[in-house]
Amino acid sequence: MKSFIDYPENSDFSIHNIPFGVAVFDKEYIACATRIGDIVVDLATLYDFGYFNDVDGLQDNVFEAYTLNELIELGKPVTRIIREKIQSLLLEGSLLSKDEKSIEDCFFNLDEVKMLMPVHVANYTDFYSSIEHATNVGKLFRDPENALLPNWKHLPVAYHGRASSIVISGTEIIRPKGQTKPKDQPSPVFGPTKQLDFELELGFIINKNTELGDSVSVEQAEDAIFGLVLFNDWSARDIQAWEYVPLGPFLAKNFASSISPWVVTLEALEPFRTDSPKQDPEVLDYLKTTGKKNFDLNLEVALTPDKGTEVIISKTNFKTMYWTMAQQLAHHTVNGCNIEVGDLYASGTISGTSSDSFGSLLELTYKGEKPLILNDGQKRDFLSDHDTLSMRGWGEKDGVRVGFGEVVGTIVPAK
Ligand code: CA
């Protein structure tokens, strides 16, 4: 497949991707968009030019919207055809490639647009599905001998997060304040966190509403997943350590989480399907899956200090996850919990086995005991004000590259 739009070989946004996002064009006009190379395409205007007239199930211009929710709700049978339609329009020799007027009106350079939150997030749940991460955290926070709690290999552990504070990549992250309990003091103190951290995650977005009492089985789960985004679950470790027993994290997490602007569809990730780690002991029947349910996606984290240069601080892969997205959704709904269009389910921190593949500073620096050394000699145990943190993710196989671009956030001082 070759597009009439040129892009570099290592672009995440190849003709094989066709992600969806929401962009501000011309500083005021908002519409759903796709991206190829460094070109952002206004899908609402493309619809008005008649290019989607032959798509069954697409009666209205759902692209003329501030979020992707209406588009996503059309469901996979329709959104799959829309994506394939866009892909064919972007191919060399297509009708669109010869239509100068439409190209002039619908195609924008990346630096001419601003990306917005792609979806209205109805509900957000954060899983804990990396066995390496759960083991590392169990050792650091609790008991090195019994790092994994007895339930961990029997169900995908999760907690309900906060949807209102999920923000688009590029949003400044204000250092949160809260209660912490220093080891050498008898009582808690209040102030800005001293242990601000990131968590490298991927999140999936739901395309359907279900009724209370209904469940989504492992077999049905992937049909309910529109696509994935990069997800940075910013965390304040000192607040977390004091507050998390017995009900789990609260203010340590709900001040902000950042997502990447382009939702990469499950269809675009098909070439990267791979086997999952073997689950032992065997899981209960409602969690049993067949076929390849994991995805081989490279992930990396970069830290750039104020006025400094970027250093890659972690590299790992999504395929190491113990629990799959299908199992997460099946478990989430097995009790009859309803799901909604725009729901976001995050994987939990993705950590590999080696010490340079961990998905948080907590693990990379052993709770701050072994600080990272940056290019200019500065040390980091946790994030400093004006640090910029970037996460990237992509699949690459047989000459096909599909990626997420990045999710970026800069830390600013507490208010
Ligand atoms: Ca998390």
In the predicted model, what is the mean pLDDT of residues 90-100?
Answer: 98
Asked if 301 contacts 407 with a C-beta cutoff of 8 angstroms, the reply is no
User: Distance from the CA of 237 to the center of ligand 1, in angstroms?
Assistant: 12
Question: What is the per-residue pLDDT for 68?
Answer: 98
pLDDT, tens digit (0-9, with 9 covering 90-100), for 157-184? 999 999 999 999 999 999 999 999 999 9
In the predicted model, what is the mean pLDDT of residues 375-382?
Answer: 95
Binning pLDDT at 50, 70 and 90, where does residue 379 land?
Answer: very high
In the predicted model, what is the mean pLDDT of residues 184-203?
Answer: 98
Is residue 137 helix, strand or coil? helix
Domain boundaries, the chain: 21-116, 124-412
Binning pLDDT at 50, 70 and 90, where does residue 305 land?
Answer: very high
**CA nearest 83: which of 48, 32, 45, 121?**
32
Question: What is the per-residue pLDDT for 143?
Answer: 87
| Dist CA 112 CA 296 (whole Å) | 33
**CA nearest 404: which of 11, 2, 1?**
11
In the predicted model, what is the mean pLDDT of residues 241-250?
Answer: 94
CA torsion sign, 186 to 188 to 189 to 191? positive
CA torsion sign, 118 to 123 to 129 to 132? positive
In the predicted model, what is the mean pLDDT of residues 195-203?
Answer: 98
| Dist CA 110 CA 344 (whole Å) | 26
Question: What is the per-residue pLDDT for 17?
Answer: 98
Residues 6 or more apart whose CB falls under 8 angstroms from that of 66 comprise: 22, 30, 116
Looking at per-residue confidence, does 245 or 211 come out higher? 211
Share of the chain residues as helix, strand and coil, in percent rounded to the nearest 5 = 20, 30, 50
How many CA atoms lie within 13 Å of 59's alpha carbon, on the beta-carbon side? Answer: 2
pLDDT at 140 over 90: no
Residues 6 or more apart whose CB falls under 8 angstroms from that of 307 comprise: none
Rg over CA atoms, the chain: 22
Binning pLDDT at 50, 70 and 90, where does residue 263 land?
Answer: very high
pLDDT at 126 over 90: yes
User: Distance from the CA of 254 to the center of ligand 1, in angstroms?
Assistant: 11
Pairing of strands 298-304, 400-412: unpaired
Size (the chain), residues: 415
**CA nearest 382: which of 285, 303, 281?**
303
332 part of the active site: no
Buried b (16+ CB within 10 A) or exposed e, 364-375: bbbbbeeeeebe
Question: Chain-centre distance of CA 233, in angstroms?
Answer: 9
- The catalytic position among 16, 120, 133, 160 is 133
pLDDT, tens digit (0-9, with 9 covering 90-100), for 362-373? 999 999 999 999
Question: What is the per-residue pLDDT for 304?
Answer: 98
User: Distance from the CA of 253 to the center of ligand 1, in angstroms?
Assistant: 8
Percent of the chain topping pLDDT 90: 97
Residues 6 or more apart whose CB falls under 8 angstroms from that of 326 comprise: 218, 221, 222, 289, 293
Reading the block at residue 366, the tokens are 């052993």
Q: Which helix (H) or strand (E) holds 229?
A: strand 225-232
User: Distance from the CA of 14 to the center of ligand 1, in angstroms?
Assistant: 30
User: Distance from the CA of 289 to the center of ligand 1, in angstroms?
Assistant: 24
In the predicted model, what is the mean pLDDT of residues 307-328?
Answer: 97
pLDDT at 19 over 90: yes
| Dist CA 403 CA 67 (whole Å) | 21
The domain 124-412 having CATH identifier 3.30.365.10: the answer here is no
Q: pTM higher than 0.85, yes or no? A: yes
Reading the block at residue 181, the tokens are 């309990």
Distances (CA, A) of 176 to 270, 291, 409: 39, 43, 14
What is the DSSP track for 273-300? EEPPPPPSSPPPGGG---S--EE--EEE
User: Distance from the CA of 234 to the center of ligand 1, in angstroms?
Assistant: 8
DSSP structural state of residue 85: H
Third-level CATH fold of 21-116: SH3 type barrels. (2.30.30)
Phi-psi region for residue 113, left (φ > 0), alpha (ψ -120 to 50) or beta?
A: beta
Question: What is the per-residue pLDDT for 141?
Answer: 81
pLDDT, tens digit (0-9, with 9 covering 90-100), for 20-73? 999 999 888 999 999 999 999 999 999 999 999 999 999 999 999 999 999 999
User: Distance from the CA of 347 to the center of ligand 1, in angstroms?
Assistant: 7
| Dist CA 179 CA 269 (whole Å) | 42
Q: Average per-residue pLDDT in the chain?
A: 97
| Dist CA 225 CA 214 (whole Å) | 17
Burial class (CB in 10 A: 0-12, 13-18, 19+), 225: buried
Binning pLDDT at 50, 70 and 90, where does residue 284 land?
Answer: very high
| Dist CA 51 CA 401 (whole Å) | 26
In the predicted model, what is the mean pLDDT of residues 275-297?
Answer: 97
